[in-house]
Amino acid sequence: MDTQTTPEMTGPEEAAWVRLIALAELLPGVLDAQLLRDAQITHFEYTVLMSLESSPDRTSRMTRLASRTNATLPRLSHVAKRLEQRGLIERFPCPEDRRATNARLTDEGLALLDDAAPGHVDTVRHYVLDALDPDDLDRLYDIAGVLLERLDPEGRMTATACHPAKAAPLAS
């Protein structure tokens, strides 16, 4: 039997961890509140629509979309049903594989993204970007990259492979 114990966190480790968890808890609520108020969608729904917008022909297989948004297929299917009922996306059988389903961003979905983007960017700027100087942003990018490499080693999420020179503006 292995008697090795995991060392306790140091004071600085615990302080950093507690702050990271607080950010992970608070930021989604702030983003959801703004998007629900301004566009009647959640941040996750916004992420789904943005992922479709950046896909070729604004279309993606549901399995790929689930991977890119870090969602299970059941969760994504539930959200896609709501988005489809609102006319923001349409789902249809994949022409290459009839067992798979594709999702496509509709013109209405694109218009909603265009309307929602300025408020979303303002919120992101207010709560995150404007609070950091350029060196802080570089450190945040580097730290997030190190953590994403461990959490998403296959690089499924778009953010894992995001590079500043290639990154699209938030309002795209």
Please report which confidence band the pLDDT of residue 3 belongs to, taking 50, 70 and 90 as the band edges. Answer: low
Q: How many helices (H) and strands (E) does the chain have?
A: 6, 3
Nearest residue to 90 via CA among 98, 100, 81: 81
Please report which confidence band the pLDDT of residue 172 belongs to, taking 50, 70 and 90 as the band edges. Answer: very low
Integer Cα distance of 133 and 64 in angstroms: 35
Please report which confidence band the pLDDT of residue 39 belongs to, taking 50, 70 and 90 as the band edges. Answer: very high
Please report which confidence band the pLDDT of residue 161 belongs to, taking 50, 70 and 90 as the band edges. Answer: confident
Residue % of the chain over a pLDDT of 70: 93
Domain at 26-161, CATH from 1.10.10.10, 2.40.160.40, 3.40.50.300, 3.40.190.10? 1.10.10.10
The string of pLDDT tens digits covering residues 95-154 is 988 889 999 999 999 999 999 999 999 999 999 999 999 999 999 999 999 999 999 888
